[in-house]
C-alpha cells in the first residue's frame, strides 16, 4: 500500500474528490494498493503526492461581501463621508437620509 495525497487546487468549494475509484480529502493521505493499475497515473499527476508529503494548495477564499455595499445606505454614507459629516456606524436609513438632506439644504 502507498499513501496517495490529493493536494487540491484553489477552489474553496471542492474539498473532496473521487479519482480512479478512490476517494480523497484534500491534504489527507489515502492508502492505495501498490499493484493498482492506475498508480502510475497518480505518480504522474501534479495534483497528487505519492508516498511523500506534498504541499497542499491553499484555497482562494473570496472576501465576504459587505451586505451594505451597493445599497442606498452605502451610497448615502459615501455622500456624507465626502461632505465630512459624522454619523454613527449603526445609524439607520431614515436618519442618514435626514442628515444628508440637512447637509444639502
| Tens-place pLDDT, residues 65-97 | 676 677 888 889 999 999 999 999 899 999 999
Mean pLDDT taken over the chain: 88
- In this prediction, residue 105 has a pLDDT band, given cuts at 50, 70 and 90, of confident
Helices 93-104 and 72-83: crossing angle in degrees, nearest 10, is: 40
DSSP state of 11: -
pTM of the full structure: 0.54
89 in Cβ contact with 60 (< 8 Å): no
Q: What percent of the chain has pLDDT over 70?
A: 96
- In this prediction, residue 38 has a pLDDT band, given cuts at 50, 70 and 90, of confident
Please give the Cα distance from 57 to 55 (Å, whole number): 6
Does 64 score more than 80 pLDDT? Answer: no
Residue with cell 508516498: 51
Mean pLDDT of 34-43: 89
Strand partners, 2: 32
E strand or H helix at 19: strand 16-19
Residue with cell 447637509: 103
Amino acid at each position: 500500500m502507498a499513501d496517495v495525497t490529493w493536494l487540491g487546487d484553489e477552489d474553496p468549494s471542492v474539498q473532496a474528490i473521487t479519482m480512479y475509484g478512490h476517494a480523497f480529502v484534500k491534504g489527507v493521505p489515502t492508502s492505495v494498493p501498490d499493484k493498482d493499475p492506475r498508480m502510475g497515473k497518480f505518480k504522474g499527476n501534479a495534483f497528487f503526492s505519492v508516498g511523500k508529503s506534498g504541499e497542499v494548495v491553499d484555497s482562494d477564499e473570496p472576501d465576504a461581501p459587505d451586505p451594505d455595499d451597493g445599497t442606498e445606505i452605502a451610497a448615502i454614507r459615501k455622500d456624507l463621508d465626502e461632505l465630512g459629516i459624522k454619523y454613527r456606524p449603526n445609524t439607520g436609513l431614515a436618519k442618514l437620509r435626514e442628515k444628508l438632506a440637512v447637509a444639502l439644504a
